[in-house]
Structure 1
Amino acid sequence: MSTLVLTLPLATPGPAAEYSYTLTADGHTATRHASTTAALLPDPGRAGEIVAVVPARALSWQQVTLPQGATAQAGRLRAVLEGLLEEHLLDDPAQLHFALQPGAQPGSPAWVAVCDRAWLRGALQALEAAGRPVDRVVPEFAPGPTASGQEECDVLGTPEDAQLVLTGHGPQQAVAVLP
């Protein structure tokens, strides 16, 4: 099954927005990679999958402990997350999208990825309008143990717009993006 992995642009989505992408037939080896507009992205095929990657700069990671009785019902869980995160967020929670880490259990610490709701919706709608609806949305970097078991550092971007990403950072194995 082929997979088209594309990075969502940080800029406001539109027809001229550029998406960096990689196409793979087996999930391990790139068969094609480039940057192009949504309308010119390659088709992963009928059985293929499109995975959108949210850039590290677009995310804020927050750790919460879900209270006992927190349910998986979307409306109820959203209200619980808003209550837990309200004091830690710079923006109004209604303007934000929350994604709870898979397998989160009440009473245990869990990570929540937070991003601008309108930006994410716009990016996904632009891809859908171009005939490339997204099957999965994943973060560029996520908290948790690294492959080496140590803190790892990645430098991304251009010299004029560089960023440093630390993964597996500290006792919570967090993600830190600098500057």
Structure 2
Amino acid sequence: MPDDNTPKVDGEKNPPTSEVETITIPKADHETLLITKKAHDAAGFKGRKLEEREEAQTAREETFKAGIATWQREKDQAEIDAVGGDQEKIKGIRDTQAQRDKDEAQNQRDKDLNKKEEDLKPREEKAIKQEIRGRAVKVAEAHNVDVEKLIEFTDGSPEALDKLAKSLPQLENGKAPLNLDGGRKGKAGASE
């Protein structure tokens, strides 16, 4: 076994040396880091397990669909075999089978389209909320009013935003006016 004094042969690389640097951190920080690491590890494990379950479910569904398709082909062939050589009945059976296949394909396309629409809904809702917020910010800046109240008390339409903005109190130095009565002004039990 070569030691540090052994001469090196051309092409042989020196093994990398790594110096370990020790740092000192408070025990509470160390425990927090350990808990955070465990949480990240657990989340990663859950994510991997979820992916594995989804892949297994997809494989089961594909196997099931293939089994149904095989069964349907065998059933179709049995129907044709049952009528013997009567070409008119065979043509009628094949036409019925072809129509069934078209209907099933259309149903599958409809299901796929509905799934895509469902997947897009959250994005559309987010885009609508962003658009409403953008409109509300512009109106709030133009009228110097609280943007959150505009968003909360309107449907986001430009007309409703503008109408409410005209009735809201103007902001003082970019902030909502301080309400010292806790919002109870004019209500029973409020001191005047």
The structure whose residues are more often strand, as a share, is: 1
Which TM-score bucket, shorter chain as reference?
under 0.3
TM-score, normalised on structure 2?
0.15
